Amino acid sequence: MRTLISILVANALLFSGAGFTADIDAQKIADLKQQLADITEELDDLNSRVDKTERHTALDRIQITGDFRTKAHSLHFQNVTWNPAMKVNFSDFGAKAMSGAFGDPSSATSPLGKMMAANPELAAAFQSGMLQGVMPYVLAPQTQQDIDNDILYTTRLRLDLKAKVWDNVSFAGRLSMYKNWGDSTGVKVFDSWNSFTMDGTSSGNTSGDWLRVERAYFDWKNINGSNTYLSIGRRPSTYGPPSHYRENEMRGGTPSGHLVNFNFDGATLGYNLGEITGIEGQVVRFCYGQGFESQFGNGEMFGDIITKDTHLGGFNIDVINDGTNFLQMTLFGAKDINDGFKGTMAFPTQLAGIFAPTMYQDMQKFENFNFVTRVQPSGVIGDMFLGGLGYARETENDYKWFASIGWTRAEPNGNAGLFGGMLNDAVFEAELNSTGTEIIMVPKETVDTDTKDGYGVYIGMQMPAPGGKFGLEYNYGSEYWTPFTQAQDDPIGSKLATRGHVAEAYYIFDINPRMFIKLAGLYYDFEYTGSGTPVGAPQKVDDVIAGTAYSMLPVVDTAYDVNASLTVNF
Amino acid sequence: MKINLKVAIAMALFLSLGSQAMAAEGGNPKKGKHLYKKECKACHSVGTEGPELTPMAKTMSQWDRFFKRDQHKAKPEVFKALSEKDLKDIQQFLYDHAADSDQPQTCG
C-alpha cells in the first residue's frame, strides 16, 4: 500500500507541468509530502486496528446466535377421565386360589383373605362365578372432570453454536432451556408420558432453568472429494419439515417433523445425489441412532438386565429441495423397543394408593410430598417401523402449503410391563410376593401379538397477511398412530402424535425481521388413548368416558390451547 | 367476555395499523434466485470466467454494500444490462442467503 502511494506521488511529481513556477512546485511538493505523511499515519493506525480484529477473529472460533421465546397459554381440558383397571387372568387366579396357593380364603390373615377383605365386590363377583378368563380388575372408582389452566407461561431460550473446523468440516450445536414460569424442579408429577423427564423429549417438555444440549454434531462434507458427508452426534432431529412453518423459522431439523421430533444420538451418512442428477437439493441419507442404552447405568447393582439396546436406522431422502418445491421420503425401523425409557418423575400418590398400600399409609401423612424417582423400562416389547412422504411448496408470492402422510407399524413380541406391551394391554396374573404375605399382580403377556398399522395426515398453509402471516393446520392420527414426535413443545402434548384430530390457526405479526408475535389456537379431539406412546392398547376415549374401557393414566377427551408468544431472534 | 372484547379491539387496531410485511430490501428472493442462477452463475461457477460464487461468500451488509457502492465494478455492463427490479430481486436473494443469514438447520 505504501509503495503504491509512493509510486503515485512520484508519478504525480514526474508529470507535473514544467510550465509551473519553482515556487508553486515547491509548495505542491510540500503539500503532497504532508498528505503522504498523513496517509502513512492513517495507515499505521489502521494496521494496528486490523491486527487486533484479525487476532480476535482467529481466537473467536465459535459463532453464537439464538432465540428467546416467551409464551402465554390458556389451556382447557374437557372430560378428563381416570378409570384405571388391569386385565387379570381370573381363570389362572381361580385355579391358584382353589389349589391353596394363596392360603386359606376363610382366614383373615391369609394373603387371599386379606385381598378379599380389601375388595369385597371383587370377592363377591369371584365367588358367584362371574369372573372367568381375562377380565378387567378395576383399581379405583372412575373420576371425571374438566380442567382449566387459565394461564401458563413458558420461556424458551435456545443458543445456537456454529464453528468452522476446516474447509469441509463444521460443528453445530444448540443449548436449550425450556421452562414454565416459577418451576425449576426438572420433574413433573407423572400423569402422562409428557410428564416424564427423559433424554428424547427434554428439549420440548418444560424442565426448569437448565441449559440442555439439544443437539451437537459435526458435518464432514465432500469426503475425499466425493459428494458424501458424515455427521455424528446429537442429531438435529427436532423441528423438521413441515412443522417449521408454524414456528416461523427455516427448516429446523433433518427428518420429517411429522414423523420425528425427538432428540436422538446417532449418525448420518449422506450423499448429495443432486450433484449427479441435477435435481437441486436432492440428498439421500442413511441415519442410524440409539434411543436406549440397556446396560451402562442400568439394571440392579450387578446386571439383572432384561432390556435391550434400542437401535434405529433408515433412510431420509430429500427428493427435491429447490426453495420452491420440497419433497421428502422417510423410512425408519426401530429394533428392540422397550416399555419406556430411562427418566425421572415425581411419583403420584394415587398410584401408591392402588399398588402400594403399605407405602400409601405413610405417604398420606405427607400430602404435598412426592418422591422423585428414576424409572427404567422393564423389558423389550417389540419392533417398530415408520414411513412417510411429505411435500411442501413455497410460491413466489410467499404462499406456502404442505401435505404429509405418515405410516407407523408396531410388531409386538408378546412381552408386557406395568403399563402394557406394544400397543397392547398386559394380561396380569396373581402371584404371591417374595415373603408370601401378599398377592401381587404381575404383567405376564400381551393380549395379542398382531401387527398394528397406524397412519397420520398433516396438512397446512401459510399466507401473507396484514402485518405478517396467517396459517391454518390440521392433522389426524389413527388408532395405532405412533410417531416419534414427543419432543414437540405443545404443553397439551405433541399435536402431531395425537390419535384423533387437531386443528390449529395462527397469526404471526412480524414486528421486524428478527422479532415476531404469534397468536394461536389449537383444538385437540382425542379419539383414542395413549397418544405419543407405544405402550398400552389404545382405547376409544368415548368408551373410557362411558366406563366400558379403562386406562391406567388419565384420559383427555378434547382440549384447546389459546396462546400468544413473542419471539426474538438474535 | 370483557377480556375477549379488549383482545378483539387490540387486534383490530393492530391490523388497521399493520402493513404488508416487506422483505429487508423489498425484492422478491424467489425471482432473485432464478435470476441469480441465470445471470450470475453463468460467469461465477467452477471453471468459468469469474470466480466461483455462492450467496455465502459475503455477509448481508457486504452484499448490500456491493449492490449500493461497488455495482459490479469488475464488469459494470453486467449490472447495466439488468433492470432495477431484477437487481433488487437478486440482492434480496443474496441477502437472505448470506453467510450471516438464518440457515436451515440440517446436517450435511
Residues A60-78: pLDDT tens digits? 899 999 999 999 999 999 9
Asked if A466 and B18 come within 8 Å (Cβ–Cβ), the reply is yes
- Annotate A121-165 with three-state secondary structure: HHHHHHHCCCCCCEEEEECCCCEEEEEEEEEEEEEEEEEEEEEEE
Among candidates A270, A324, A513 on the partner chain, residue whose Cβ is nearest the Cβ of B108: A270
Identity of residue A233: G
Interchain pair B108, A283: CB under 8 A: yes
Write the burial class of residue A50 (CB in 10 Å: 0-12 exposed, 13-18 middle, 19+ buried): exposed
pLDDT class of A104 with cuts at 50, 70, 90: confident
- Measure in Å the smallest separation between the Cα of A423 and chain B Cα atoms: 32
Rounded percentage of chain A residues whose pLDDT exceeds 90: 79
B24 touching chain A per CB within 8 A: yes
Domains and CATH numbers, chain B: 5-96 (1.10.760)
Classify burial at A48, counting beta carbons within 10 Å of its beta carbon; exposed 0-12, middle 13-18, buried 19 or more.
Answer: exposed
Contact B107 A231 (CB under 8 A): yes
pLDDT number for residue A276: 95
**Using 50, 70 and 90 to split pLDDT, how confident is the model at A83?**
very high
Q: CB of B28 within 8 Å of any CB in chain A? A: yes
Number of residues written out for chain A: 570
Which triple of cell numbers denotes residue B17? 395499523
Chain A within 8 Å of B46 (Cβ-Cβ)?
no
The band of B108, judged by pLDDT with boundaries at 50, 70 and 90, is: confident
Which chain A residue is nearest to residue B30, measuring alpha carbons? Answer: A396
Cross-chain residue pair B15–A466, CB shorter than 8 Å: yes
What 3-state class would DSSP assign to A169?
A: strand
- Does pLDDT of B12 surpass 90? no
In the predicted model, what is the mean pLDDT of residues A268-285? 96
**With bands split at pLDDT 50, 70 and 90, how would you rate the model's confidence at A270?**
very high
What pLDDT is recorded for position A1? 55
Angle between helices A22-59 and A2-14 (to 10 degrees): 170
- Band (B18; pLDDT cuts 50, 70, 90): very low
Asked if B107's CB is within 8 angstroms of A509's CB, the reply is no
Give the pLDDT score at A22: 81
Using DSSP, state whether A529 is helix, strand or coil.
Answer: coil
Residue B1 is predicted with a pLDDT of: 47
B11, B105, B108 ranked by CB distance to A253: nearest? B105
Task: Give the separation between CA A456 and CA A494, rounded to whole angstroms.
Answer: 13
Q: Do B14 and A509 touch (CB under 8 A)?
A: yes
B31 at A interface, C-beta within 8 A: yes
Residue A376 has what pLDDT? 92
Residues of A in contact with B24 (CB under 8 A): 513
B19 part of contact set with chain A, CB < 8 Å: yes
Q: For B56-101, what is the HEC assignment?
A: HHCCHHHHHHHHHHHCCCCCHHHHHCCCHHHHHHHHHHHHHCCCCC
Q: Which three cell numbers stand for residue A507?
A: 397469526
Please name the member of B20, B28, B103 whose beta carbon is closest to the beta carbon of A466.
B20
Closest CA relative to residue A466, chosen from B9, B16, B24: B16
Q: Which of B17, B24, B108 sits opposite A231 (nearest CB)?
A: B108
* Mean predicted lDDT score pLDDT of chain A: 93
Q: What is the pLDDT of residues B57-67, one digit of tens each?
A: 999 999 999 99
CA distance A219 to chain B (A): 6
How would you classify the pairing of strands A439-446 and A426-432? Answer: antiparallel
**Residues A334/A338/A341/A345 CA torsion (nearest 10 deg):** 150
Return the SS3 of A34.
helix
Q: Long-range contacts for A427-431 (Cβ within 8 Å, ≥24 apart)? A: A427/A87, A427/A88, A427/A89, A427/A134, A428/A86, A428/A87, A428/A88, A428/A89, A428/A137, A429/A88, A429/A89, A429/A92, A429/A93, A430/A88, A430/A92, A430/A93, A430/A96, A430/A102
Residue A495 CB: number of other CB atoms within 10 A? 24
Q: What is the pLDDT of residues A316-332, one digit of tens each?
A: 999 999 999 999 999 99
**Is B107 in CB contact (< 8 Å) with chain A?**
yes
Interface with B, mutate which of A254, A264, A326, A563 (most B CBs under 10 A): A254
DSSP state of A347: P
Alpha-carbon distance B77 to nearest alpha carbon in chain A (angstroms):
28
pLDDT at A4 over 80: no
Q: Which residues contact B7 (CB under 8 A, 6 or more apart)?
A: none
pLDDT given at position A131: 83
User: How high is the pLDDT of residue B6?
Assistant: 54
pLDDT digits (tens, 9 = 90+) for A537-560: 999 999 999 999 999 999 999 999
Distance from B15 to chain A by nearest Cα, in Å? Answer: 6
pLDDT, position A121? 83
**Who contacts A178 (Cβ-Cβ below 8 Å, separation ≥6)?**
A154, A155, A156, A157, A203, A204, A205, A206, A207, A489
pLDDT digits (tens, 9 = 90+) for A484-533: 999 999 999 999 999 999 999 999 999 999 999 999 999 999 999 999 99
Q: Which of A30-39, A127-136, A499-508, B5-14 has the least mean pLDDT?
A: B5-14
Is residue B46's pLDDT more than 80?
yes
pLDDT for position A452: 97
If one compares A459 and A115, the residue with the highest pLDDT of the two is A459
pLDDT surpassing 80 at residue A113 = yes
Size of interface A-B (CB pairs under 8 A): 70
Residues of A near B (Cβ–Cβ under 8 Å) read 160, 172, 174, 217, 219, 221, 229, 231, 235-236, 239, 249-254, 268, 270, 272, 283, 285, 323-324, 394-396, 464, 466-469, 509-510, 513, 519, 569
CA distance A548 to A109: 34
- Contacting residues of B for A394, CB less than 8 Å apart: 30
pLDDT over 50 (residue B22):
no
* Closest in B21, B106, B107 to A467, CB measured: B21
The distance of B9 to chain A (nearest Cα, Å) reads 14
> Higher pLDDT residue, A193 or A463?
A463
Q: What integer pLDDT is reported at residue B17 of this predicted model?
A: 42
- At A180-232, the pLDDT tens digits run 999 999 999 999 888 999 999 999 999 999 999 999 999 999 999 999 999 99
Q: How far apart are CA A416 and CA A320, in angstroms?
A: 42
Residue A118 pLDDT class (50, 70, 90 cuts): confident
Per residue in A396-417, pLDDT (tens digit) is 889 999 999 999 999 999 999 9
Angle at A414 between CA A411 and CA A420, to 5 degrees: 95
Nearest chain B residue (CA) to A284: B108
Region A227-245: mean pLDDT is 97
Q: What is the mean pLDDT of residues A320-349?
A: 95
Please give the domain boundaries of chain A with CATH numbers for all domains.
71-84+141-342+377-413+449-569 (2.40.160.10)
Mean pLDDT over A26-49 rounds to 93
Supply the pLDDT for residue A89.
Answer: 94
Q: Sort out which chain B residues have CB atoms less than 8 A from A221's CB and list them.
A: 108
| B18 against A38, higher pLDDT | A38
For residue A530, the tally of other CB atoms under 10 A from its CB is: 26
Of A513, A510, A503, A507, the closest CA to residue A564 belongs to: A507
CA distance A236 to chain B (A): 6
Which residues of chain B does A249 touch, with a Cβ-Cβ cutoff of 8 Å? 102
Is there a contact between A519 and B105 if contact means CB atoms under 8 Å apart?
Answer: no
- Bond preceding residue A242 cis, omega within 30 of 0: yes
